[in-house]
Amino acid sequence: MKHLKSALAALALVSLAGCGQSDPQNALEQAAQDLQDAIAARQTGAAMERIHAEFQGANGMDRQQTRHMMTGMFLRYQNIGLLVVGRECQLDKGFYDRGHCSARVGVSGAQGLIPERAELYQVQTTWQLAGKAWQLRDIRWE
């Protein structure tokens, strides 16, 4: 279960408060914010819209395993809290369709108001432009 909790924290990764999508940097930040919002709202479908078809997580977690993990966590915890600190997000200088984000992410899960679990992670992500939308391609956390 700790592994699942870690993965959820990592997916939450980047509470990047984007200001719109007028440029690729803002669009990347907004995509990360959308993913965070979907996880906090326990909306698997909305979160999966931000996960790339070739997603690769730590320990070989793929897109389908990520969906199962999220669904399990959403069933277990009624309330999911996310706190992102010290975020940094930048476009890849070598590839027009890649971006990278890092942040400290705190995540908690609770059935009621008091969290049953809370953990803090350092998260590194790679995003890829798929059509006109940024999607999470790779994630690592410690």
Q: Residue 128 is encoded by which pair of tokens?
A: 């890829």
Report the domain count for the chain.
1
CA geometry: angle at 100 spanning 99 and 103, to 5°?
145
Q: What is the pTM of this model?
A: 0.79
pLDDT at 22: 59
pLDDT tens profile 44-90: 999 999 999 999 988 889 999 999 999 998 888 888 888 888 888 89
Q: What domain range includes position 131? A: 2-141
The angle that helices 2-12 and 63-76 make with each other, rounded to 10 degrees, is 110
The CATH number covering residue 118 comes to 3.10.450.50
